[in-house]
Amino acid sequence: MEGLIQTIVLAPFVSVALLFLLRRQLPKSAAAVIGCGAVLVPFLCTVAAFFQFDGTPVTATLTQWMTGSVLNVPLAFRLDQLSLTWTLVVTGIGFLIHVYSVGYMHEDPSFVRFFTYLNLFVGSMLCLVLGDSMVLLFLGWEGVGLCSYLLIGFWFDEEENAKAGQKAFVVNRIGDLGFLVAMVLVFKQFGTLNIADVNAMAAAQAATLDPTLVTSIALALFVGCCGKSAQLPLYTWLPDAMAGPTPVSALIHAATMVTAGIYLVARMSIFFAMSPTASTVVAVVGCATALFAATIGLRQRDIKKVLAYSTVSQLGYMFLALGIGAYTAGVFHVITHAFFKALLFLGAGSVIHALHHEQDAMRMGGLKKYLPITHKTFLIGSLALAGIAPFAGFFSKDKILGAALYSHGLPQLLGVFGLITALMTAFYTFRLYALVFHGEERFGHGAHGHADHGAHADAGHGHGAHDHAKPHESPLTMTFPLMVLAVLAVLGGALSLPHFAHFDMLGKFLEPIFAPAYAVLGAPHEHSVAQELGAMLVSLVLAVGGAWYGFSKFSEGPGKQAEHSTKGLPFLLENKWFVDEIYNVLVVGPMRALSHLAGFFDRLVVDGLVNGVAGMVRSAGGWIRMMQNGALHTYALLFILGAAYLAIVLL
Amino acid sequence: MASKKESCVGSHILSLITFLPLLGALVVALLPRGGHAALRGATLVFSLANLLLSLTVFGVDPSGGMSFKESAEWIPTLGISYGLGIDGIAMPLVILACLVVPICIATTHHLRDPSRLKEYLVFLLLMETGMVGVFCATDLVLFYVFFELTLVPLYFLIGMFGGEKRIYAAFKFFLFTAAGSLPMLVSILYLLWSYKQSHGAWSASIADLRTMSLTTPEQMWVFGGFALAFAIKVPMFPLHTWLPDAHVQAPTGGSIILAAVMLKLGTYGFIRLGIPLLPQAAQAYATPLLVLAVIGVIYGSYLAWAQDDLKKLVACSSVAHMGFVMVGLFAFDKDAVRGAMLQMLNHGISTGALFLLVGAIYERRHRRGLDDFGGLARVAPGLALALIITSMSSIGLPGLNGFVGEFMIIAGTFKTQPLFAVLTALGVLLGAIYMLQMVRRVCYGKPKSEEAKHLTDITPTEKLAFAPLLILMFWIGLKPDFLLDKIGPAVDAALLALGTTP
């Protein structure tokens, strides 16, 4: 078992080293085999570990990291129900996306570099998930951030892409400060950063721990989550992150990395369970983000931007679930979302690939007949995202909404907002689906829209070699992952069926993880069959209604939305509520101005003052300079004077 | 208690690594001026030999005491001795000092005045003697002599080989340092005199001086003298303004030495002398020093962000990073001080490497504006990769060296000074901002001019110079224990004086 864990963590890093060292020698095919193998091996090991796993967490220690201090941090990896779940998702979906990338990136001159970064990402993500201490988790946390930065700016010749990468890193660092503060608070209180120990101590001391401290720890952690998982007010980097190649958007910015925040809250759920304040904050922020991002998703034109805002919105759902204590439902949604959102992004990549970097849905349409596999799988992904039964998203979303609606007070209200979000989600999903695959063919007229989309366009594949006349289906390396993910998006809901079905594999499996939290919170509510059916019916009606409306409105074409709107709510939505602009004016601008002020102040005031004093000294010592013109001589003289002084004093 | 017997039986390794460079300087001075290869070769042989020898001090006593002790009478009437010794605090700094000298030799192919290569190399070796000596001295007067000795060669390195405003920069550097040295000398003399008063005999041994107890007001004055000298060296806000000028004007080698080793004389002085000799005063001064240190972290970061000049940006980042070290030092927490010791080294490695790379970029086009380049990752991918990794080390990415130091400082400081710890943590965010915008402007986008499109990629010499620093970044990042095991007990010993005071 230890061997399996070590292989899981080390395989991607070994591959990174290989790919880096042999980057000039390796042919693409070999790089592809190594790159994909480095994720397949951990996946197979995880599956093997899953079948060997007997419910007792296993820790595998590689070596010590920091021990020459009171801070005792080994490089140790812990496999338990939660990390096992995440590892399966990361390696499983990660593998599919690696395979897809072989096709998607095959003409990119930086093919090997791409796989190096992608493997480094998987390795870091596994460190994050499996790390047994908060420091190791943080190592992975920052590592995935680095990879995200490198991959968003993968086509760094465009300055815009590099800027998007930088934005992602810096905004995430704001969150990381929260994580850092949480760690030092934990370290000060518990004297260790080993997660299992900290959780156990917190659970044992539940009655005596200072509530303010618990809330502080939980909130500081959540600040970190807001950065990594793109929640209000730190979500703005994620839509920009779409500048990266589309497989990256699927893997990092939809299926895995952005769920790290949910993982962290789930991992440390005891702290949130002990702090009603922190939990409320999590629920409200999650719900607000879900709603807010969904409104923006309604009017986006760029296929990847719609999916990006939808990711932000779905992550909001997951935090809503965690905030109201429906931990398993939150994790469930992470899994189903990974299936269908990776599917949708990869489908979008296939479309973009077929249309030679076109990302504007207004310039698509009618692709159904050209891209049959992409079309069918994208439809399945859309049904799942919209929350239509029996696709995976329906079950997980319903679990969250059901838990919210059948509680009392604020969560109930949040549940209502969740329903409104569900309606909007179904609408924008099928708006996108209709714009891309139905209606008249709007692509290929004149230029490919590079003029206005050049900076954002996926430029990963070659130019000129394609037949520009007709889009054609992607190669098998790309369609195979789509089909596998489509199957998962259909069947994923079976992991945790509604309560009355008495089939909740995931819930049972995760029970030991959340038991301490539920010991504090009290057992989750049991809903009656009627209640469950009622919630399912309401959310299904809304989803179907929204989807139908979205589809029927745009199945002929974008209509008036082909033009940019210039006023009113559509204008605000199309421009993302101007949040980036507001941040620029309120935060970025003043910060930058402050730095220039500091530069100015330093030259004129600090240096001026010091130089003034120096000038006085210099004029006072003018006679020395008259005697000698080099400063060294002045110094030597002073030194001799000093020595003489020393002699006089001492003798 | 320096006994003569010990010096007879004990090894003379510290003397050897202190004075071998001096011998090298003499040899190089006697070589003909025109033979550049011979000059470089001789210097390289001496400095590499010294680096190898210096590795033996890695075997320093892990229990925290002084190892490799040497002692000989020097001015017995005044109790001044030639005392050398090394502990876990000084050990990494000595090795670092010996490491950067060969690296600096690799940067001498682009001197402003190639005909004076010989002087450059002589000064470099003289620097090495001063730097190693100051970290090994166990006698206060000897410490002072070496401390001052480092000043002269660096002054000439900047003044003779620097940029357009080198005279201004060199003079400013000299003046600042001299302004600190004199009060320090007075403090030293006062300490010696007080020792004579209380013990009836002269001694300048730091170990002896630790046994003496001064009243708090006395300590305050004496500490003030030391603190001024050290704070200028660190440099702490608002005494930092000499540093950007010195760095910008200094030749690449001068900048590397300045960043990697010279700034550490300040923080080393605090841990070796200020805190153990004058514990009450150190505690009394802690809050003001912490305030200045935190200002340094934040203000230095903002300054760095404002710069359009690569060298100036790195110089200002030094102010911020050394602020981190000072926070850790004066948090008086064992973890924080350990972190501070490690961070001194990390700063030397990362910032030394940054100056090496920035110098390499500068030498290609004689420009160092952030917006003079662009697209370096396409034009010179090796150089860009080195710059990016070093930047990540500098901003404390976990897995690389900077994180371990920063994290230990923040986590340790939080135990004793939570407010300062949180404020210091802001430096982590600001560091990412100014370093990444530098990386973006230099490495990404398209080349901003025709010249920027054709730059030589990293040369084998540059690779060789960069490699040891790169290895250390990863090694310390992933396995800091090999140093922390030695640093830890020495820190405990240095902080012992604080424990006895309320």
Could you report the predicted ipTM of this complex, rounded to two decimals? 0.90
Q: Which tens digits make up the pLDDT trace of A562-602? A: 888 888 898 888 888 999 999 999 999 898 999 999 888 88
Q: Is residue A367 within 8 Å of A350, Cβ to Cβ?
A: no
Whole-angstrom CA distances from A599 to A300, A607, B239 are 41, 11, 15
Chain segment A194-221, per-residue pLDDT in tens:
999 999 999 999 889 999 999 999 999 9
Closest CB from B303, B422, B429 relative to A602: B303
Q: Is the pLDDT of residue A392 over 50?
A: yes
Least confident of A27-31, A71-75, A283-287, A622-626: A622-626
Residue B284 burial by Cβ neighbours in a 10 Å radius (0-12, 13-18, 19+): middle
- pLDDT for residue A636: 57
**How far is Cα B126 from Cα B152, in angstroms, rounded to an integer?**
9
Q: How far apart are CA A31 and CA A26, in angstroms?
A: 6
3-state secondary structure of B240: coil
Separation between Cα atoms, residue A577 and residue A556, nearest integer Å = 28
* Cα distance between residue B124 and residue B137, in whole Å: 20
Angle of the A260-267 helix axis to the A134-152 helix axis, nearest 10: 170
Return the residue in B141, B167, B203, B414 with the most chain A beta carbons within 10 A, the one to mutate for interface testing.
Answer: B414
- Say which of A69, A183, A607 has its CB closest to residue B335: A69
Q: What is the pLDDT of residue B389?
A: 96
Residues of B with Cβ-Cβ distance to A67 under 8 angstroms: 481, 484-485
Q: Does residue B483 sit at the A interface (CB-CB below 8 Å)? A: yes
> Contacts of residue B307 in chain A, CB cutoff 8 Å?
599
Selected residues 381-420 of chain B with any CB under 8 Å from a CB in chain A: 392, 397-399, 403-404, 407-408, 410-411, 414-415, 418
Name the average pLDDT for chain A. Answer: 88
Res A628: pLDDT = 46
Q: Across the interface, do A69 and B414 touch by the CB < 8 Å criterion? A: no
Q: What is the mean pLDDT of residues A81-106?
A: 95
* Cβ B330 vs Cβ B293: under 8 Å: yes
The residue written with tokens 């815009």 in the block is A160
- CA A445 to chain centroid: 36
Both tokens assigned to A254: 């939809």
Domain ranges of chain A: 2-574, 589-650
pLDDT at B3 over 50: no
Are B189 and A631 inside 8 Å of each other by CB? no
A514 pLDDT band, cuts 50/70/90, is: very high
- Closest to B370 measured CA to CA, from B448, B297, B428, B433: B448
Cβ within 8 Å, pair B299-A65? no
Structure tokens at B126: 């003289």
Q: Assign B458 to helix, strand or coil.
A: coil
Cα gap A173→A71, rounded to integer Å: 23
Q: Under DSSP, is residue A58 helix (H, G, I), strand (E, B) or coil? A: strand
Query: Side chain identity at A210, as an amino acid letter?
Result: D
B474 interfacial to chain A (CB closer than 8 Å): no
Inter-helix orientation angle B401-416/B381-394, to 10°: 10
Residue A631: predicted pLDDT: 52
User: Taking 50 as the threshold, does the pLDDT of residue A15 lie above it?
Assistant: yes
Lowest-confidence range among A279-293, A337-351, A454-468, B38-52?
Answer: A454-468
Work out the angle between the directed axes of helices A260-267 and A111-130 (0-180°, nearest 10): 10
The predicted pLDDT at position B1 comes to: 40
Q: How buried is residue B205: exposed, middle or buried, by Cβ count under 10 Å (0-12/13-18/19+)?
A: buried
Long-range contacts of B396-399 (CB under 8 A, 24+ apart): B396/B428, B396/B431, B397/A142, B397/A143, B397/A146, B398/A135, B398/A138, B398/A139, B398/A142, B398/A143, B398/B477, B399/A139, B399/A142, B399/A143, B399/B474, B399/B477, B399/B478
Q: Are B176 and B250 in contact (CB under 8 A)?
A: no
CA torsion, ordered B290, B291, B296, B302, to nearest 10 deg: 140
- Strands B80-86 and B67-75, by their bridges, are antiparallel
The pLDDT tens digits for B292-302 are 999 999 999 99
Return the H-helix or E-strand segment holding B71: strand B67-75
Contacts of A164 (CB under 8 A, 6+ apart): A152, A153, A237, A240, A241, A242, A243, A244
Query: A-B interface: how many C-beta pairs under 8 angstroms?
Result: 189
* Residues ≥6 apart with Cβ < 8 Å to A254: A307, A311, A337, A338, A341, A342, A344, A345
Q: How confident is the model at residue B453 (pLDDT cuts 50, 70, 90)?
A: confident
pLDDT-derived band of residue A645, with 50, 70 and 90 as boundaries? low
Contacts of A156 in chain B (CB under 8 A): 377-378, 443-445
- Rounded-to-integer distance, Cα B473 and Cα B352, Å: 11
Res A462: pLDDT: 43
Average pLDDT on B157-174 reads 88
Helix-then-strand count for chain B, H and E = 23, 2
Centroid of chain to Cα A143: 12
| pLDDT (0 to 100) of residue B450 | 86
On whether the CB atoms of residues A200 and A270 are closer than 8 A, the answer is: no
The predicted pLDDT at position B61 comes to 85
A599 vs B175, B306, B483: nearest CB: B306
For the record, the structure tokens of B146 come out as 């070496």
Measure CB to CB from residue B408 to each of A71, A598, A650 and give the nearest one.
A71
Using CB atoms within 10 A of its CB, is residue A191 exposed (0-12), middle (13-18) or buried (19+)?
Answer: middle
pTM of the full structure: 0.91
Q: Does residue A101 register a pLDDT over 60?
A: yes
∠ Cα A588 A594 A595 (to 5°): 95
Task: Return the minimum-mean-pLDDT range out of A223-232, A446-455, B307-316, B387-396.
Answer: A446-455
Q: In this complex, which of B170, B185, B299 lies closest to A598 when CB atoms are compared?
A: B299
| pLDDT tens by residue, B311-365 | 999 999 999 999 999 999 999 998 999 999 999 999 999 999 999 999 999 988 8
Contacts of B305 (CB under 8 A, 6+ apart): A592, A595, A598, B430, B433, B434, B437
- Higher model confidence: residue B174 or residue B22? B22
Q: What is the pLDDT of residue A186?
A: 94
Question: What is the full DSSP assignment across A568-611?
Answer: HHHHHHHTGGGHHHHHIIIIIHHHHHHHHHHHHHIIIIIHHHHH
- Asked if the model's pLDDT at residue A647 lies above 70, the reply is no
Tell me whether residues A598 and B303 touch, CB distance under 8 A.
Answer: yes
Compute the average pLDDT of residues A481-500.
Answer: 90
pLDDT at site A445: 60
B302 vs A65, A595, A617: nearest CB: A595
Q: Comparing A228-242, A479-493, B108-122, B391-405, which segment has the lowest mean pLDDT? A: B108-122
Q: Say what the pLDDT of residue A223 is.
A: 96
For residue A77, the SS3 value is strand
Res A393: pLDDT = 92
pLDDT in tens, A601-620: 888 888 888 777 766 666 65
Chain A interface, mutation test: which of B91, B203, B439, B486, most A Cβ atoms within 10 Å? B439
Inspect the interface and report whether the beta carbons of B155 and A635 lie closer than 8 Å: yes
Count of beta carbons in the 10 Å neighbourhood of residue B499:
9
Residue A460 confidence (pLDDT) above 70: no
**Chain A interface includes B62 (CB < 8 A):** no
Residues from chain A contacting residue B392 (CB–CB below 8 Å): 146
The per-residue pLDDT for range B5-32, each reduced to its tens digit, is 444 435 799 999 999 999 999 999 999 9
Task: Determine the average pLDDT of the residues in B427-431.
Answer: 93
Tokens 């550097």, residue?
B173
Residue type, A80: D
CB A353 within 8 A of CB A104: yes
Q: Is the pLDDT of residue A625 over 80?
A: no
Q: Residues A593-620, buried b or exposed e (16+ Cβ, 10 A)?
A: eebeebbebbeeebbeebbeebeeebee
Q: Which residues contact B260 (CB under 8 A, 6 or more apart)?
A: B96, B97, B100, B348, B349, B351, B352
Is residue A502 scored above 50 in pLDDT?
yes
Nearest to A69 among B151, B436, B488 (CB): B488
Write the DSSP symbol of residue A57: -
Q: How confident is the model at residue A468 (pLDDT cuts 50, 70, 90)?
A: low
A465 falls in which pLDDT band (50, 70, 90)? very low
pLDDT of A423 > 90? The answer is yes
Tell me the pairing of strands A58-66 and B67-75: unpaired
Percent of chain A with pLDDT over 90: 66
Average pLDDT of the residues in B201-208: 90
pLDDT at A466: 46
Q: Is B190 exposed, middle or buried (0-12, 13-18, 19+ CB in 10 A)?
A: middle
> DSSP character for A360?
B
Judged by CB atoms closer than 8 Å, whether chains meet at B241 and A66 is answered as no
Q: Which residues in chain B have Cβ-Cβ distances shorter than 8 Å to A177? A: 425-426, 428-429
Q: Which pLDDT score, from 0 to 100, does residue A245 have? A: 94
- How many CB atoms are closer than 10 A to CB B162? 25
**B282: closest CA of chain A, how far (Å):** 23
Paired strand residues for B81: B73
The pLDDT assigned to B365 comes to: 87
Least confident range of A380-389, A481-490, A526-535: A526-535
| CA gap A105, B6 in Å, rounded | 68
pLDDT tens-digit profile of B52-84?
A: 999 999 988 888 889 899 999 888 888 899 999
| pLDDT score, position A567 | 85
Give the pLDDT confidence of A303-317 residue by residue, as tens digits.
999 999 999 999 999
Mean predicted lDDT score pLDDT of chain B: 91
User: What is the C-alpha end-to-end distance of chain A, expressed in Å?
Assistant: 76
Q: pLDDT band for position A450 (50/70/90)?
A: very low
Nearest Cα to B293, choosing from B259, B329, B268, B265?
B329
User: With an 8 Å Cβ cutoff, are B428 and A176 in contact?
Assistant: yes
Q: List, as ranges, residues 340-359 from B with C-beta within 8 Å of A.
A: none
Nearest Cα neighbor of A129 from A143, A146, A114 is A143
Closest approach of A555 to chain B, Cα-based (Å)? 40
Residue A626 predicted with pLDDT over 90: no
Question: Cα angle vertex A352, ends A351, A354, to 5°?
Answer: 65
pLDDT value for A366: 87
- Select from A134, A193, A602, A640 the residue whose CB has the most chain B CBs within 10 Å, as the one to mutate to test that interface: A602
